[in-house]
Amino acid sequence: MADEANRQFAGLSDVSISEDIPVEGDISVPMGSSSSNRQRGGEDEFSTLDEPVKETILRDLRAVGSKFIHVLYPKRSSVLLRDWDLWGPLLLCVTLALLLQGGAADSEDQGGPQFAEVFVIVWFGSIIITLNSKLLGGTISFFQSLCVLGYCIMPLTAAMAVCRIVLVGGSGTVSFTVRLVVVTASFGWSTFASTAFLADNQPAGRKSLVVYPVFLFYFVIGWMVLTFSPSQ
């Protein structure tokens, strides 16, 4: 039986590449798009050192923008977690802190939160929530969690902008009701969005232990947004 098998492969042992069969042909590496409208000067795709700065900035902006869209329609995707970045949270925090200025801060009364206080609350709060979820045995990494919590401030920042616009019209009961509704809705949206990303990485039986600090965090930010009163 073995010699039968050998007979099937009998011819192969004699194969060798002889020198008089020329090996020729064209080996060309496909360089992607045609060279006519290429902006990069002939390097491979992994080195981005030579690309123009506009391209680099646009790529980062596109990444940030896509994450904003993921917060707007929160479903269980892993884009926010996989490619975390902290540009978006920084942008949102600065915007929120700037919008919270111009309150009764220059009067002798203890007015609204100062710029630094908003920063401290947002970043310190996010760090504490991240530490909490890691101590409870979560599998999410430190910066991923900071990224998620920071991006989910976006509804509250939008609510702050809306509140400032409403306050231009007046600050009576009607405007307070409108602001209350807007802030409550965006607070709920923020909590829901961040829970959709964070709660999956926790062991079961501890999910509400992780969600509660997030709820408290956005509640405090919502209170800061709601109680903003412009200087008269």
Partner 1 sequence: MASTNDPFQFQEFEEAGNLLEANRDATTISIEDDDMPERQRKAAGFTPDVDDEDPHTSDDNTELLSGQKKSAPFWTFEYYQRFFDIETHHVKERIIGSMLPWPGKNFIHVHLRRSPDLYGPFWICTTLVFALAISGNFSNFLLNSDKPNQKYSPQFGKVTIAATAIFSYAWFVPLALWGCLLWRNNKIMNSVSYSFIEIVCVYGYSLAIYIPAVVLWILPFEWLRWCSIVMALCLSGSVLVMTFWPAVREDYPKVIAAIMSAIVLLNVLLAVGCKAYFFSNPEEAALSPAPSAALELTKAPSAT
From 109, 116, 165, 172, residue interacting with partner 1 (rule: CB under 8 A) = 109
CA atoms of 139 and 206, how far apart (whole Å): 13
CA distances from 176 to 66, 101, 193, 216 (A): 33, 19, 25, 22
Phi-psi region of 137 (alpha: psi -120 to 50; beta: other; left: phi over 0): left
Spatial neighbors of 105 by CB under 8 A, at least 6 apart, are: 111, 112, 114, 231
Residue 13 or 47: which CB sits closer to partner 1?
13
Residue 85 C-beta: closest distance to partner 1, Å: 25
CB of 120 to partner 1, least distance (A): 10
The first and second tokens of residue 17, run together, are 């590449």
Q: Virtual CA dihedral for 200, 203, 204, 207, nearest 10 degrees?
A: -60
Distances (CA, A) of 88 to 7, 71, 92, 95, 143: 69, 11, 6, 11, 13
Of the candidate spans 42-50, 62-70, 155-163, 209-217, the one that interacts with partner 1 by CB under 8 A turns out to be: 209-217
Distance of CA 78 to the CA centre of its chain: 10
Q: Which of residues 132-171 bind partner 1 (CB under 8 A)?
A: 132, 134-137
- How far is 232 from 96, CA to CA, in rounded Å? 21
Binding mask 65-104 toward partner 1 (x if CB under 8 A, else -) reads ---------------------------------------x
From 38-46, 55-63, 66-74, 109-117, give the range in contact with partner 1 by CB under 8 A: 109-117
Question: Does the footprint of partner 1 cover residue 219 (CB under 8 A)?
Answer: yes
Report if residue 6 touches partner 1, rule: CB under 8 A.
no
Q: Is 52 in the site for partner 1 (CB under 8 A)?
A: no
Single residue of 1, 12, 27, 69 touching partner 1 by CB under 8 A = 1
Instruction: Work out whether 206 is an interface residue with partner 1 (CB under 8 A).
Output: yes
Per CB under 8 A, residues contacting partner 1 are 1-2, 5, 104, 109-114, 117, 132, 134-137, 205-209, 212-213, 216, 219-220, 223-224, 227-229, 232
